[in-house]
Amino acid sequence: METTIKKQDNKLKYFIEDYWDIFLGIVSILIAFYFHKFGQGGMATLFAAIGIGSLSLTVSEVAEILSERLQEPYGSFVLTLSAVIVEIILLYIILLQAVADPEVVNTVKGGIISAIIVDMNVLLGLAVFLGGLKFVEQTHNKETSSAYTTILFVTAAALLVPGVLSLGKHTPNIIEEASIAIAVLLMAFYIVILVFQTRTHTHFFKSTARSRIFRLKRKIAEQKDENEEEEDDYIFEKFNMLGLIISIFVFIIIIALGAEVFAHDGIKLAKEYGVSAGLSGLIIAIVAVAPEIVTAIKAAKNDEIQRVVNIAMGASTVSILLTVPILMTLAYASGIRFTLDFNPLEIGALILTIILAWKTTDEGHTNYFEGISHLMFFAAYTIIAAYF
């Protein structure tokens, strides 16, 4: 009798652990619609954000199952792509508010840059800090960070072009044409990088022999006795690749519904309370990137720092190279003028972030001090964004 009760308790425990994010996400979005209907924008925005974050975590977990079957570097590519799709949907739905309020475009621009700032400082910083506390020092493939920081430097330089033109006496039409040209270049560059990452130089994005050996030893040491292990029947583990892809898109559709409430009421709320475009963009980025942060922290605690570097830098790369051209295309299709003349704070913070990431990862190993450095930088950026 006691054994049966114990098994039932374990099943309930695993059910809650496995599916709390789906339950919380759907319920939160339903509550958000309820508050939206009755004009309570603050509560609607809060619950929409909770719903988006929870279901984005589900998307991340399903994508992680898919990534494990594909192996590196395809695994991290799938994880970053699924996260960036959520980011694009969220930013586009917010961008649609620009039809009534053109200032919203600045918030979306802030969201694009902030997503990279959060990925490279909060995600990388927290994961490296917590991993460093547990393992003192963690090793990754230094070729990964070298390749990604080079890519990010080039893309940051490309994004400078419309901003520099806007400082001169150039007409809005010239800035618009330059922005379109840069967007095309970014998309072309992404195709080259995709081939580089998944075809010609896959070894640049895989764990080194040393990091693999250390991780394997630790996993064996931490493995529980087989008799004590309980079977965790996570339903998505049973799906084939097509089923996993369909599941991801179903959750993304639900997230899009929540994003509509978040965009409508959130923008109105930010305007009402005088929240700066920079801080609004930062909040949007944190909501979009939260699931990646959870995934990266788990990886760091399992001594999989290579995955952390792949996710942080890979997501940042895709955020620029894919998000910018796609958002521009969607904006013009919706009759919204969207140019790439980012403000000096955004470009300056982006370049400084890349330099910091280069310095903290270029030797192929990390420790908790390097994680703290990224978190300190993010704290300083948040203060500036709030008052800029």
Where are the domains positioned within the chain?
A: 7-387
φ, ψ at 366 (rounded to 5°): -130, 160
> In the numeric block, which tokens belong to residue 85?
């799709």
Mean pLDDT of 217-235: 53
CA atoms within 13 A on the CB side of 36: 23
Are 340 and 324 in contact by the 8 Å Cβ rule? The answer is yes
Say what percent of the chain tops pLDDT 90. Answer: 24
> What size, in residues, is the chain?
388
CA angle 22, 28, 29 (to 5 degrees): 95
Q: What is the pLDDT of residue 71?
A: 66
Transcribe 60-120 into DSSP letters. HHHHHHHHHHH-TTHHHHHHHHHHHHHHHHHHHHHHGGGGT-TTHHHHHHHHHHHHHHIII
Q: Which CATH number fits domain 7-387: 1.25.40.10, 3.40.50.880, 1.20.1420.30, 3.30.450.20?
A: 1.20.1420.30
With a cut of 90, say whether residue 281 has pLDDT above it. no
| 366 three-state secondary structure | strand
With a cut of 70, say whether residue 231 has pLDDT above it. no
pLDDT (tens digit per residue) in 63-116: 878 877 776 666 666 767 777 888 888 899 989 988 888 888 888 998 899 989
Q: What is the pLDDT of residue 365?
A: 85
Q: What is the pLDDT of residue 29?
A: 95
Q: Rounded to two decimals, what is the model's pTM?
A: 0.82
Longest dimension (CA), the chain: 82
Q: What is the pLDDT of residue 120?
A: 92
